[in-house]
A and B are shown apart, each in its own frame.
Chain A
Amino acid sequence: MGSVGEVTPQQMHFSEPLPLRSGAMLPAYDLVYETYGTLNAQRSNAVLVCHALNASHHVAGTYAGQARSEGWWDNLVGPGKPLDTDRFFVIGVNNPGSCFGSTGPRDLNPATGRAWGADFPVVTVEDWVDAQARLLDALGIGQLAAVIGGSLGGMQALGWTMRHPQRVRHCAAIATAPNLSAQNIAFNEVARRAIVTDPDFHGGHFYAHGVLPRRGLRVARMIGHITYLSDDAMEQKFGRELRAAEFGYTTQDIEFQIESYLRHQGDKFSDYFDANTYLLITRALDYFDPAREHGGDLACAFDAARGCGFLVVSFTTDWRFSPARSREIVKALVDNRIDVSYAEIAAPHGHDAFLLDDERYHRVVRAWFDRVDIG
């Protein structure tokens, strides 16, 4: 098993506006993407990888001259890996509204000549799917062999099968949910309030003030990070371990290692992530609810997906998107007599397990992709 090696992101310009679910339009925009492997002559071996909250088009491989620049799913995607780039042509694309190269809140709003900031139109999972479909049009790919994603990426993968069912033959939805629970939305709202109430946020137009709402972003990331780990994983990694040998009897300094870890994660995140993007992406999560327009009937929502084959994977210690949520998806598919396999992996890591290298998880994904027909 190898790496796809050094990769270079590519950029595609779209001059035709993208109609959004909200009724708004995203005017001309750019999408940044990467590809791995070779598109076959029949153009039948393309696999789209959809990214989650803080990831990007950089799925696999490394950047020249940059240490530790492996893509976020490098353990899954590459030659001889579960998603085998010797067989498949794999595409990673950064979604609009994100902050890793595709058009987002940091870019200029052509109407004002200023950065979009908080005025960037609200984007949904379905809008991202449509943007991805346009990229495939431009790449000359009529139909995907498969679409795969974890967490929010899994929602996009599911969205593909409902929105463009004729353009996708297989779908792998990993550690995801058919919509957010009240608790999920609550965590998102705490994160958003942390950002919006940061004095440096300036109503989302902080770029003009030459500041960044770092405090808010840090807290948002800390909150998010708690939901990515299982109670056990956190206990095992940090427990009640102290930074010093004894209590310092301080209310503001770091005492416990878990505090140090969360603050470190928050600091790192606030260096590279955009506050407006965080608001947009958590909202896209909140809004995703394909059953809503079918009177709450998820099976009805998947009616369009007949003909597509599915793999659904959940992790037993994931309390953010628990196995019960994945079973709702499985039930809706079974009700439609759709081909689906479902693996419930007993992994200790919580939601983050979908990004980690777990033998049982990866071998199921590998076996499933091995059966994906490329004509």
Chain B
Amino acid sequence: MLKKTPLYDIHKALGAKMVDFAGWEMPVQYTGVIDEHLAVRTSCGLFDVSHMGEIEVSGDSAIDFVQFVMTNDIERVTDGQCQYSPLCREDGSVVDDTIVYRFNIDRYLFVVNASNTAKVLDWFKQVQKKEQFPDLVIEDLSGIYSQIAIQGPKSVEVMKPLLDIDPGQIKTFRFHMGLLLGEIEAVVSRTGYTGEDGFEIYLDPSDAPAVWQALMEAGKPFGIAPIGLGARDTLRLEMGYPLYGHELSDEITPIEAGLGKYVKFTKDFLGREVLEKQAANGTERALVGIKMIDAGIPRAGYEIHSNGKKTGEVVSGTSSPSLKAGIGTGFVATKLKAPGTEVEVVIRGRAAKAQVVPLPFYRK
């Protein structure tokens, strides 16, 4: 039985096509991926991302635990800020990637991928058991949080009449704990997964429908659109943002995935030894952006060739609605990672010409 978010009935009423995503019945599209994608780039769009997992870590040793499991450095941010980080094992492989919300020095919320929530929780508990973290509490709060994201250049204006403060005052990667519609408690962060301005809103599931409808209403003059997982994926890929299971996995390290700036060797953490070596000596393969020169669309699993020989594989690929071109990410031999390098993507047995390009694919 697939899980349903509190916005399920609203999605059905909007005519959404629903799909199974990590055990959840989620909207993949409403009117069409391209329309929805462009609505977010030009105006704003509303996403139900209630399937995301939320794990809270609290207690006297919370900060030590958080620093130990994440590669980024939470001491570089203050209370009320959030930070992106991979979560690595000792061998440098990635358990998941996350945004950590720092409420205070003793309390943190990890927002994790729906498909990895149980895995991260289990892994956190293993780490807790193995190491000494007195009075540490690890709690799965996925059930008590729904999440709605509003993304696009009009997001601040749409949010303004709903929030108890001027949403424009919430700085990038900071959050505000306040009231929506005068009475609904929510955590509102200036974050997102699209490359556009916007907010992610965490609230009680029973409040989600009212907030969704209020945002749709407030956004009407701006042409707000509900956005499915299809456009969520094309938006994030145009920005080169990693998606677990594609650019990151149990077999990929953050250094290979080009996420070195989120790995801080100024502190101790799981995987440090391996990642420090990789950062210093380089890796055999590197994640690159690929843009088609010949016609065709790269897709996950397609081989990447260099001068007729296999060098790697595509991990994400699509037809970019903004660029109107086939784009993708893939791993190639590190010596091929320089932008401008010509490679071939093998599409149904035919080697189609493509080029390594810098990320993000899309720039305003």
Q: Do A and B bind each other?
A: no
Q: Which residues of B are interface residues toward A (Cβ below 8 A)?
A: none
